[in-house]
Amino acid sequence: MSNKQIIGSFLAGFLCIGILSCDLNRKEKNSIAPTKNASIPTTTPDQSNRLKEEQFFDIKRVKEIQTTATETQKIRSGTYLQKALSLFSEQKIEDCMQHLVQSISNYPTPEAYLGLGNSNLELGYYEDAIDAYHMAEWLNYEPLSDIYYHMAAAYFKDQTDLDGKNRAIKYLKLALDNGYENWAHFASNEKFGKYRYQEEYINLFLKHFQDQFPNKDQALFQLFVHLFPEQDLPVEVLLGELNSEEQLGNPYPMSRRLHYLVKRNSKQQFHPQDQFFFKTILEETDRYYAIIYQRVPKPTYKNKLRKGSTYFDIATYTKNGRMIDQVRFAGNINPLAFKAGIVNKNKEIEVIQYKATWQQEYRKYGSTNNQIEHFDYLSTKGYMIGKNGRFVTKAKESLLGLND
């Protein structure tokens, strides 16, 4: 679909399917801050001196309008832009697009084109987002690093571009080389997809942001906690789904460089070949982070029962990366013992333990031509995370309808 068609459809009314991008929620350099009570000038504009929709990406015509626009047009453009930014922050992308079109029509500015790019990015029109970002670049938007950063996100998301990933990495590096400074957004930007979990991404983070932290360890820890995706509560891990790759979302493997952040200060024993996966961040307070990670232990000669096991642990950390406490949330601890878990909207944690009965004795016959016949409920434990980040046992009725 062309840019002309997209913008025309915005004026006809588009269904908002995007989510809020945190970059437009923060004040951009040289952008116009939104005001709640902005009013649109009602003077009838001179249509001959307005930019038509089909001219939005004609740089020569855009610059002509910039030269000939009246002061009234400039004021009107700025007011539309203020309203657009306010609407974007409210996730009203459809209305935001309408105001951006009016802003650009009256007096095209790099800030309006940035808004147009970000809105298209949220709506999934990545090629048009990239075109809008290029217009903002050609109109000398500052800081240029923000344009390259957004452009990288659009290329990462554009699955139709066979070379999209390489272009994305190119623009991401350009953003960093040109002084992009928001390390928290860089670390948590899910638009970068699986690239965030690769070694190259860790190296870029350390190269450009390590000097914002007391030491390398602190920098890696902040990247570590920001790599955990957010997920709405309640969070559940149920029996029968323990080995599902979709359990708690996509399985993002943890780089071995970050394994030590899980292991240090832990009372558990780990094998060097254990695998870890990012699952979700439950909570961040001024004292601690609470996260859920998945661990797939490597079977050993001494403990063959670990084969096929997977664990889901909730762990809490101080703000400087020291593990405070952890609890086994769910998992098939071994082929005979299983746990299921739930964290409700009040952040109350419940762990339910079951015993598995196999058709044939597991220790003798293993899992070959053998399967679980049924589960027997054993017990339920409830927990809350205290203000200091430690787990507090809480006796209560089961959230899943079972009692202790």
Evaluate if residue 205 carries a pLDDT over 50.
Answer: yes
Cα angle value 245/251/254 (rounded, 5°)? 140
| Torsion 69-71-75-76 (CA) sign | negative
CA dist 184 and 6 (Å) reads 32
Q: Considering the chain, what is the average pLDDT of its residues?
A: 83
CA dist 366 and 41 (Å) reads 78
Q: Are 282 and 274 in contact (CB under 8 A)?
A: no
- pLDDT at res. 309: 77
The three-state secondary structure class of 236 is strand
Strand partners, 339: 331, 353
Dihedral angle over CA of 179, 184, 188, 191, nearest 10 = -30
- pLDDT at res. 83: 97
- pLDDT at res. 362: 82
Quickly list DSSP for 284-335. Answer: E-SSEEEEEEEEEPPP-SS-GGGTT--EEEEEEEETTS-EEEEEEEEEEEET
- pLDDT at res. 231: 87
What is the domain partition of the chain in residue ranges? 3-223, 229-393
Lowest mean pLDDT, pick from 41-45, 123-127, 226-230, 324-328 = 41-45
Evaluate if residue 106 carries a pLDDT over 50.
Answer: yes
Q: Whole-angstrom distance between the N-terminal and C-terminal Cα of the chain?
A: 59
CA dist 342 and 330 (Å) reads 9
pLDDT band at 33 (very low <50, low <70, confident <90, very high): very low
CA dist 255 and 293 (Å) reads 13
CA dist 198 and 230 (Å) reads 19
- Average pLDDT estimate for 294-303: 67
Which of the pair, 366 or 6, is modelled with greater confidence?
A: 366
- Each residue's pLDDT tens digit, 344-395: 999 999 999 999 898 988 888 877 788 888 899 999 999 999 999 999 998 6
Cα angle value 209/254/345 (rounded, 5°)? 95
CA dist 342 and 352 (Å) reads 9
Q: Are 305 and 298 in contact (CB under 8 A)?
A: no
pLDDT band at 311 (very low <50, low <70, confident <90, very high): confident
pLDDT band at 249 (very low <50, low <70, confident <90, very high): low
- pLDDT at res. 307: 56
- pLDDT at res. 4: 41
Domain 3-223 -> CATH class: mainly alpha
- Each residue's pLDDT tens digit, 143-181: 999 999 999 999 999 988 888 899 999 999 999 999 999
The three-state secondary structure class of 340 is strand
Q: Are 99 and 84 in contact (CB under 8 A)?
A: yes
Quickly list DSSP for 252-292. Answer: EEPPGGGHHHHHTT-SS---TT-EEEEEEEEEE-SSEEEEE
pTM score, whole prediction: 0.78
pLDDT band at 287 (very low <50, low <70, confident <90, very high): very high
φ, ψ dihedrals at 194, nearest 5°: -70, -15
